[in-house]
Amino acid sequence: MADRTATVHPDIDDDGGLKRSITGVQLFFYTLGDVLGSGIYVLIGLVAAAVGGAFWIAFAAGVTVAAITGAAYAELVTKYPQAAGSSLYVQKAFGNKALTFLVTVSFLSASFAASGSLAAGFASYFSELFNGGGPPALLVSLVFVAVLVLINYIGITESVVMNMLMTFIELSGLIIVMGIAIYYVAQGNADFGTLTDISVSGNPALAVLAGVALSFFAMTGFENTANVAEETIDPYRAFPRSLIGGMIVAGIVYVLVSMAAALTVPVDQLAESDVALLEVVKQGILPFSTDLMETIFTIIALVAITNTTLVTLVTQPRILYGMAREDVVPGVFAKVHATRRSPWVGLLFSGLVVGGLLVTGTLVTEAGGNLDLVNRLALVTVVFLLAIYALVIVTCLKLRGRDEDERAFRASTPLLVVGLIGNLAILYYAIYDDPSSLWWCAGLLAVGVVLYLAEQLLGSKSEPRPGTASRTPEGDH
């Protein structure tokens, strides 16, 4: 990932602005790569368990709400084409530093939780290389996080071109799943009745809502696109098309992959598996070596999860870095390595927090707690982001009539109201279905509050340094 923590930014023009070098096509793939992440590799089994064979409906509903939210981002980005994202919009709308701080810390907390969920998912796929055995899952997860922290410390060069390449790798695994389903359907073996089966007890609508709450983890990441606003050529035209278009394409892929999995694998088998998409390959439908296909798909899944987790781990120290430069958290987080130019203190702290989540989850499980760590941390991520998304839509409506530009995109007001209701409904049900997730949310928020109090009590006060707002790419799931 690009290290943007040096005092002099390598991509800054003489007039102090970032170079506009990202084309509309590159931005489309950037958005697609952010949304089309590893969330579906990790969570599809949990969504199937919540809904039944018709779990594709949950993905369709989730991406609809996410796309409407994306329209709000598109309006705000074209009105304020700056590299700051939702924190900037909230500050402009409400002028409340406490609320802006809460939004920033919530993004940081969501990133921590997402990293933990993905690391646990990585361990599940990694064990498949050893036929379900191998090292303990906690050890694999911790080593995985440590290696990514080390890579970030060494320094990484990121570009939208590399993002496009990684998107194609992630997409290849999903294409394999869809290809298997097409071959299976062509043989006349598919039971399309499965796609309308909501085979869970209770209210079908609530079952779908539960699935949407889980599937929403796979829809996030599009908000990261706002952070490259200053580097996009003609953002007024490029953003609405690329942002919303990329989300729609990702949503179509997710729906097709969901259908493919439901048609080729018994839903109960999907629901019980920690590597549900791999179950499609294990069916041995294609006339190739099943063992070879399993290995190839597992490696693709590991690459996809690694890429997404790497992005989230890049986010965390840069958020801390920006907050430290504004004297919000202790100044030690603004330290960068003399030669690597990486925010090493923030990296180390982030690795410790994510590791702490993994250890805590494992201890709770071993103590007899009924906890699915991937599920819990994914829901924690979704709770944070849904609250932020709802606030962004409110912010978009509140800023109507201010700083208007005829070139700016304007989202449909009725659609924004629908999106707001959708975000709040999913948020309510996520909390209602798993209220204990709020304890995890509170714990992560407490980390930010403690850092803030430490700076207020012990830190040296200084004026915020001009031009130091950090780009904080939240990443995809």
**Residues 6+ positions from 439 with CB-CB distance below 8 Å:** none
Q: What is the pLDDT of residue 390?
A: 95
* Helix, strand, coil abundance in the chain, percent, nearest 5: 70, 0, 30
How far is it, in rounded angstroms, from Cα 377 to Cα 311? 17
| pLDDT for 161 | 58
Taking the C-alpha atoms of residue 278 and residue 294, their distance in angstroms, rounded to an integer, is 7
End-to-end CA distance of the chain: 17
182-223 pLDDT tens trace: 999 999 988 999 999 886 667 788 888 888 988 888 888 777
For the chain, domains (ranges, CATH) are 24-458 (1.20.1740.10)
> What Cα–Cα distance (Å) separates residue 29 from each residue in 43, 175, 314?
23, 16, 19
Amino acid in position 134: G
What parts of the chain have a pLDDT lower than 70? 1-21, 37, 82-84, 155-164, 199-201, 224, 227-231, 340-341, 459-477
pLDDT tens readout for residues 296-311: 999 999 988 887 887 7
pLDDT of residue 354: 94
pLDDT digits (tens, 9 = 90+) for 351-407: 999 999 999 999 988 887 778 888 889 999 999 999 999 999 999 999 998 887 778
Q: Nearest to residue 116, comparing CAs of 437, 449, 340?
A: 437
AA letter at 397: L
3-state DSSP assignment of residue 24 = helix
The whole-number pLDDT of residue 340 equals 66
Confidence at residue 158, expressed as pLDDT on a 0 to 100 scale: 46
> What integer pLDDT is reported at residue 25 of this predicted model?
81
pTM (two decimals): 0.83
